[in-house]
C-alpha cells in the first residue's frame, strides 16, 4: 500500500523519517491554542515589542478582555471585524480577541488608501475595525459609506516601555506630520481604555472546526477585483501543524520567531502569529522592515526562526555594516512570496550559519503547500520544493485539463486540508479555481522524477513586487480615470531588488499632455504606495490583437529583452 502511495506521490520517497506523510490534527479552534499556551506557559514571554515583553498569561487576559468588549458593542458569532495594523501587540490581542468573541477576522493592509479600504469594508460587511491612530483620519473618511459601526484606535506608543512611550509621539509627528487625538466616546474607542476596564461578560461559542470561518483574507484575482478568501479554523490550524512537522528539529516553547512579515499578509499570519502561539514560542515583532533596526534586533533578541521574503533578505545583505552584527542565533528561514535567488540564499546562509530555503503557497491555501527541506537532505536549486504532509499536488494541461506526464509544463493544482472554503460572496470565482477538490493556482510549472516542483511562469497577470501581490487592472482603472489618459496597461518588469516592479505604458488623448510626475502624484492619491508604478512610458499606440485586446505579454517580453541587453553590455 505504501509503495502505491509513493508511486502516486513520488515526493514522499524523499521525506526523512522524522516527517510523517499524514498528520493527526486536534480539532481545536485557532483561539483554543492561545488558551492552551496560556495554561502551559503562563509566565513565558509571548511577545517582545521594541523593548517590552508580554507573557502568555497577559496576552490571553488582554484578548479575553477585548473579546468581552466586542460582545458588549454587539459583535455576535459570524460578524466580521477588521484589523488594520502593523505588527504590534494590539494586532495579536485583536486577532485572538475577535475569535474569542465569535467573530471573523478581516485582515486589512495599513497601506490601503480610502478607495481600497472602502471596497474591502463594503464587501466584507465588517462592523468594527481596529486601526492605528495615524490611520484614523483615513478610516473616518470611508466609515459612513460602509457597514462600520465602531472604530477602535491604538498607537505604537501604547505598547512601548518608559521612556520610549513618551518620546515616540514626537518621532511619529516628524515622520508623518500629524498627531491624532481620539477620544474614547461614541463610536470611537481607545484600545488602552478597553484593556483598563474590568472584564465584561464573555459568552462562549462552539466552533465547527471544518466549517466555521476564522478569517477573511483579501487577495486579488485575474479580474483585478479583490476577493475575500474564506479560511476556516481547520485551514489555518492544519497549515500551522504542517509547518511544525516540517520544522521537526525545532523545540516547542523554546524557539524565538522574528516577526517582520506583516500579519495582514497570510504568510506572516500563519508562519509567525498562529504557529508561534500553537508552539508556545516567543514572537519578536517589528512594525515595519528597516534593515538596521532588524540587524540590531537580531543581535539583541537572538531569534532562531526567521520566515521572510527575498526582498527582506536582500535588504539585510545590502546593509554596509551587516558583518558587524552577530546573526548566528538564526538556524532556520523559509522564504516565500517570490522566487528566491540562489546567490541570496548562499550569502544569507554564510552570514548567519543557518539554513534558508524556498517555499511556495498562495492565500487560498493558508498559504503554504510546498517547501524545500531545511535539514538532512540536499537542496534543489530553482525548485519550490515538495508538497507538505497531507498535501497533494499535480500538473494539469491548460488545453485538455488532463494530468500531464512528469516533466511537462502545465497548471499547478493542489489539494489538502489547508485549501480555502471558497471566495466570500463569489460563487462564480470559487467555481473557477476549485474543481473536483483541486485548487488551481494559475501558476505554470512541472514536476521532476523525484517529486520536486518548479514554477516557470504565471498564468495570471499578477505582479509580485517585494513580496506584495499587485494586480494590473486595479492600477489601470485608476490611471484610466485621469482625464489625459486614453489607454494604459500596467505590467511587471524585472527589478533586481523587488523581483518585479510596476511599469505603466500610457497612450494620451489627442491634444492632452501630462508629465510622469503628475501621473505619479495622481496614482499615489488612489493606490497604496507599493502599487504605484515606478516607471511610466508614453507611447503613440499599444500592441494589440486583431480584436483589440492589449498584448501585455509583448510589453513584458520587450522589457525583459532590454534588461538582457543591458546585462550583456555590462558583462562586455
Task: Report how far residue 319's alpha carbon sits from residue 295's, in angstroms, rounded to the nearest whole number.
Answer: 9
What is 326-351 written as a DSSP string? --TT--EEEE-SS---HHHHHHHHHH
How far is residue 176's CA from residue 97's CA, in Å, rounded to a whole number?
Answer: 29
If we measure between CA atoms, which residue out of 113, 129, 135 comes closest to residue 180? Answer: 135
What is the overall mean pLDDT for the chain? Answer: 92
Higher-confidence residue: 69 or 486? Answer: 69
- Cis peptide bond N-terminal to 256, omega within 30: no
Cis peptide before 348 (omega within 30 of 0): no
Question: DSSP labels for 216-252?
Answer: EEEE--TTS--EEEEEEHHHHHHHHHHHHHHTTTS-T
Q: What is the pLDDT of residues 349-385, one digit of tens each?
A: 999 999 999 999 999 999 999 999 999 888 888 899 9
The three grid cell numbers given for residue 5, joined into one nine-digit string: 502511495
Half-sphere exposure of 129 (CA within 13 A, CB side): 29
* Residue 278 C-alpha from the chain's centroid: 19
Q: 124-172: per-residue pLDDT in tens?
A: 999 999 999 999 999 999 999 999 999 999 999 999 988 988 888 888 8
**Banded model confidence at residue 549, pLDDT cuts 50, 70, 90:** low
Q: How far is CA 138 from the centre of its chain?
A: 22
Domain range summary for the chain, segments of one domain joined by +: 39-44+54-206, 390-458, 464-571
CATH topology for the 390-458 domain? Luciferase; domain 3 (2.30.38)
Block residue for cell numbers 485548487: 439
Percent of the chain with pLDDT strictly greater than 70: 96
Three-class DSSP category at 553: helix
Question: CA of 535: how far to CAs of 151, 494, 523, in Å?
Answer: 37, 12, 12
In CATH terms, the superfamily for domain 464-571 is: ANL, C-terminal domain (3.30.300.30)
Q: What is the pLDDT of residue 431?
A: 96
pLDDT in tens, 423-472: 999 999 999 999 999 999 998 899 999 999 998 766 667 788 888 878 78
The CATH architecture that domain 39-44+54-206 belongs to is 3-Layer(aba) Sandwich (3.40)
**Pairwise CA distance, residues 357 & 336, whole Å:** 9
Amino acid at each position: 500500500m505504501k509503495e502505491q502511495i509513493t508511486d502516486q506521490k513520488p515526493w514522499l520517497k524523499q521525506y526523512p523519517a522524522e516527517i510523517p506523510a499524514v498528520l493527526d490534527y486536534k480539532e481545536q479552534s485557532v483561539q483554543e491554542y492561545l488558551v492552551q499556551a496560556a495554561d502551559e506557559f503562563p509566565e513565558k514571554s509571548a511577545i517582545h515589542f521594541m523593548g517590552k515583553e508580554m507573557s502568555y498569561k497577559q496576552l490571553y487576559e488582554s484578548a479575553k478582555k477585548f473579546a468581552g468588549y466586542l460582545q458588549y458593542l454587539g459583535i455576535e458569532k459570524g460578524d466580521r471585524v477588521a484589523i488594520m495594523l502593523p505588527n504590534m501587540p494590539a494586532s495579536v490581542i485583536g486577532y485572538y480577541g475577535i475569535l474569542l468573541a465569535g467573530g471573523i477576522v478581516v485582515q486589512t493592509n495599513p497601506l490601503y488608501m480610502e478607495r481600497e479600504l472602502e471596497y474591502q469594508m463594503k464587501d466584507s460587511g465588517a462592523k468594527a475595525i481596529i486601526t492605528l491612530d495615524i490611520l484614523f483620519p483615513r478610516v473616518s473618511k470611508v466609515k459612513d459609506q460602509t457597514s462600520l459601526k465602531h472604530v477602535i484606535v491604538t498607537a505604537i506608543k501604547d505598547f512601548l516601555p518608559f521612556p520610549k512611550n513618551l518620546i515616540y509621539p514626537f518621532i511619529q509627528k516628524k515622520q508623518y506630520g500629524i498627531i491624532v487625538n481620539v477620544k474614547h466616546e461614541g463610536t470611537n474607542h481607545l484600545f488602552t481604555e478597553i484593556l483598563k476596564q474590568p472584564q465584561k461578560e464573555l459568552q462562549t461559542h462552539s466552533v465547527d472546526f471544518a466549517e466555521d470561518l476564522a478569517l477573511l483574507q483579501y487577495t486579488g484575482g485575474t479580474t483585478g477585483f479583490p476577493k475575500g478568501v474564506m479560511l476556516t479554523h481547520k485551514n489555518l490550524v492544519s497549515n500551522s501543524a504542517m509547518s511544525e512537522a516540517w520544522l521537526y528539529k525545532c523545540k516547542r516553547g523554546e524557539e524565538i520567531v522574528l516577526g517582520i512579515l506583516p500579519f495582514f499578509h497570510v504568510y506572516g499570519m500563519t508562519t509567525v502569529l498562529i504557529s508561534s502561539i500553537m508552539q508556545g514560542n516567543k514572537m519578536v515583532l517589528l512594525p515595519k522592515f528597516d534593515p538596521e533596526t532588524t540587524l540590531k534586533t537580531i543581535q539583541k533578541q537572538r531569534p532562531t526562526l526567521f520566515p521572510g521574503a527575498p526582498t527582506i533578505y536582500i535588504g539585510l545583505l545590502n546593509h554596509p555594516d551587516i558583518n558587524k552584527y552577530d546573526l548566528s542565533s538564526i538556524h532556520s528561514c523559509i522564504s516565500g512570496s517570490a522566487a528566491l535567488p540562489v546567490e541570496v540564499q548562499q550569502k544569507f546562509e554564510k552570514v548567519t550559519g543557518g539554513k534558508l530555503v524556498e517555499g511556495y503557497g498562495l492565500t487560498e491555501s493558508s498559504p503554504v503547500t510546498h517547501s524545500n527541506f531545511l535539514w538532512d537532505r540536499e537542496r534543489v536549486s530553482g525548485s519550490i520544493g515538495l508538497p507538505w504532509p497531507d498535501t497533494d499536488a499535480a500538473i494539469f494541461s491548460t488545453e485538455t485539463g488532463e494530468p500531464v506526464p512528469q516533466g511537462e509544463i502545465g497548471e499547478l493544482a493542489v489539494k489538502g486540508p489547508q485549501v480555502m472554503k471558497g471566495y466570500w460572496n463569489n460563487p462564480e470565482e470559487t467555481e473557477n479555481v476549485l474543481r473536483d477538490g483541486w485548487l488551481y493556482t494559475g501558476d505554470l510549472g512541472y514536476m521532476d522524477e523525484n517529486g520536486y516542483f518548479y514554477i516557470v511562469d504565471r498564468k495570471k497577470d499578477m505582479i509580485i513586487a517585494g513580496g506584495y501581490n499587485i494586480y494590473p487592472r486595479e492600477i489601470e482603472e485608476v490611471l484610466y480615470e485621469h482625464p489625459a489618459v486614453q489607454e494604459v496597461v500596467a505590467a511587471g518588469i524585472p527589478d533586481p531588488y523587488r523581483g518585479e516592479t510596476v511599469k505603466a505604458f500610457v497612450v494620451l488623448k489627442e491634444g492632452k499632455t501630462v508629465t510622469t510626475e503628475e501621473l505619479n502624484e495622481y496614482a499615489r492619491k488612489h493606490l497604496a504606495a507599493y502599487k504605484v508604478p515606478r516607471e511610466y512610458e508614453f507611447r503613440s499606440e499599444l500592441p494589440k490583437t486583431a480584436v483589440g485586446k492589449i498584448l501585455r505579454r509583448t510589453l513584458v517580453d520587450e522589457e525583459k529583452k532590454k534588461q538582457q541587453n543591458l546585462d550583456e553590455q555590462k558583462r562586455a
